[in-house]
Amino acid sequence: MLNRSQAWAVALLVAAFVVGVVVGAGGEAAWARHAHAADPGRGRGLERMKANLDRELGLTGAQRDSVHAILDRHWARMSAAWETVRPRFDSMRAQMDSDVTRQLSAEQQARYRDHVARFRHHTEKTDSGGKTR
């Protein structure tokens, strides 16, 4: 049985992990947006992943077919998992926005809302499966 300080330590560790995942995902999303802006013809999501693996690994035809089938099979499950987490993530993000806004002047709040709207417009045009929302 965990005592109170051990429980807090575990909770802090889990929170750090979650923050790391969110920051990592945000960093990947920012990189993907930059790369997509540099080459608008590039695919997004699963199709981009397949193209990158084909190019970087030099897959044979048989390997490509097998790898693509594996990615297709797992991508649907991963996308479904993200959709179950998304509402909680959105709630956490709304709380963060509220906390940040309380620290700002009225003018800064307006600029922050504009900044967030521009950033989220770019990141939320497609979901993790590459489908347009």
Is the model more confident about 130 or about 115? 115
Whole-number pLDDT of residue 117: 87
Domain residues of the chain, as ranges?
1-42, 43-133
Whole-number pLDDT of residue 38: 56
Percent of the chain with pLDDT over 90: 41
**105-117: burial string, b at 16+ Cβ within 10 Å, e else:** eeeeeeeeeeeee
Side chain identity, residue 9: A
pLDDT band, residue 41 (cuts 50/70/90) = very low
Contacts of 10 (CB under 8 A, 6+ apart): 2
- Asked if residue 100 has pLDDT above 80, the reply is yes
Whole-number pLDDT of residue 7: 78
Query: 51 vs 54, 56, 77, CA distance in Å?
Result: 5, 9, 20
Lowest mean pLDDT, pick from 7-11, 35-39, 63-67, 107-111: 35-39
Query: 28 vs 19, 33, 77, 112, CA distance in Å?
Result: 14, 9, 20, 22
- Average pLDDT, integer, range 29-41: 58
